[in-house]
Amino acid sequence: MRTLSDNFAAFGGFRGLHGLSSTTQAPAGHLATLTDFGSNPGHLAGRFHVPAGLADQAPLVVVLHGCTQNAAGYDHHAGWSQLADEAGFALLFPEQHSGNNPNLCFNWFRPGDTRRDAGEALSIRQMIDAMVIAHGIDRERIFITGLSAGGAMASVMLATYPELFAGGAIIAGLAYGRASSVPEAFDCMRGQRLASDEELWALLRAASAHDGPWPRITIWQGTADHTVAPSNAEDIAAQWRSVHGLDTAPTQSETLGPRVRRRWSNADGDILIEVNTLARMGHGTPVGEDLGTAGPYMLDVGVSSTREIAGFWGICPARDADAQTAPPRRTTKANSPRGANAPAKANSPATRLAAPEAGRTPAAPRGRPQPERSSVQKTIEDALRAAGLMR
């Protein structure tokens, strides 16, 4: 008889959703514990780091770990605390626990945790508010990043609370609202749950009543990632191009060693979206140069995504000469050109009728049928129900 673990292993892509093959843990180190930050409906823990002598109105970076990782382990390998001490910004690390998810994944695909003012999303929002009040954070310079399930949860936070963030960074993650169940999450991760730009835009617009300005987004993805298909990076870019009103074609494309970087700018020349694709890189966070330490799903490819992300946001000096180093500016309606692929109006009656409920995945575009559910997938679903991981 096949065990539950055997069933999981038989279903490609499960490792990235409910656990990686090895853990990235570390002792608590110098991260402090955040307490009394609100009702905490998502039952998350909070860790934080504030550099000595932090200036008033400093930036805040929210960092979301991946499956089987914890806050201290991710911080150790990615180098966020080291950079925070150098550049002078505060850090918040929401942390999952096994009571919510046995493999410590943020529940980015569960509707009760991905809606505004509910579940894990609200818990993270409450942690941010507590940090702002306790440490005099600049509300105009709050940023969020995450890896894998943490990257998908960063998409959730950027979509449901866009007014809160000046920028986001999604590493091997997924676009907002692409899955509302475990089977849908599998399909999305494998790149088999397709959606048009218009459907991606509608999901993001349905997540909140916000109408701009919008966060700036940097996306990181390996071409050899067999856990989260590279097509998911394209979905994320398309979702945010639509609300920023940008054309499909990038403003700039360049090759930087193993990395191809595409950027989209508005009419004023502000870089609003970038996609960084790393050749032959698998599933994980890129680390290297003088920042970060290799480990499980923390990949030394000679590029420090931590430093590059902070440079893109304008909260530390960027390493390459042509990178944007000025403080980020949010796009406004007045300076956001509308690309040919963008919907005509964000709040038109036709758009409101077409926009699905937040957290729900649209039907696949015509001409691209969904794959039928295999017997292996059915076996996995039965196993997940037996384990209490899905209904």
Rounded to whole angstroms, how far apart are CA atoms 104 and 294? 20
Instruction: Provide the CB-side half-sphere exposure for 88 (13 A, CA).
Output: 10
Which residues are CB-contacts of 375 (< 8 A; sequence separation ≥ 6)? none
Active-site residue flag, 265: no
Which residues are CB-contacts of 263 (< 8 A; sequence separation ≥ 6)? 250, 251, 252, 253, 271, 273, 274
**What are the extents of the domains in the chain?**
4-386
8 A C-beta contact, residue 269 and residue 326: no
pLDDT number for residue 193: 86
Q: Which of 123, 148, 180, 265 is catalytic?
A: 148
Query: Which residues of the chain have a pLDDT value below 70?
Result: 1-29, 319-391
Structure tokens given for 246:
């940008």
The kind and range of the H/E element at 18 are helix 14-18
Rounded to whole angstroms, how far apart are CA atoms 224 and 267? 34
Residues paired with residue 295 on neighbouring β-strands, in sequence order: 298
pLDDT number for residue 343: 41
Q: Say if residue 213 is preceded by a cis peptide, omega within 30 of 0.
A: yes
pLDDT number for residue 323: 47
Neighbours of 145 (CB within 10 A): 27
8 A C-beta contact, residue 361 and residue 177: yes
Rounded to whole angstroms, how far apart are CA atoms 134 and 154? 23
Rounded to whole angstroms, how far apart are CA atoms 248 and 116? 29
Which residues are CB-contacts of 28 (< 8 A; sequence separation ≥ 6)? 47, 72
pLDDT number for residue 11: 29
Rounded to whole angstroms, how far apart are CA atoms 155 and 169? 9
Phi, psi at 286, each rounded to 5°: -70, 130
Residue range 4-386 forms a domain whose CATH class is alpha beta
pLDDT number for residue 14: 36
pLDDT number for residue 290: 87
pLDDT number for residue 66: 97
pLDDT number for residue 147: 98
Q: For the chain, give the mean pLDDT.
A: 81
Rounded to whole angstroms, how far apart are CA atoms 150 and 120? 12
Degrees to nearest 5, angle at CA 107 with 104 and 109: 145
Rounded to whole angstroms, how far apart are CA atoms 310 and 318? 8
Rounded to whole angstroms, how far apart are CA atoms 243 and 204? 8
Q: Tell me: the pLDDT tens digits for 33-63?
A: 999 999 999 999 999 999 999 999 999 999 9
Structure tokens given for 137:
């954070």
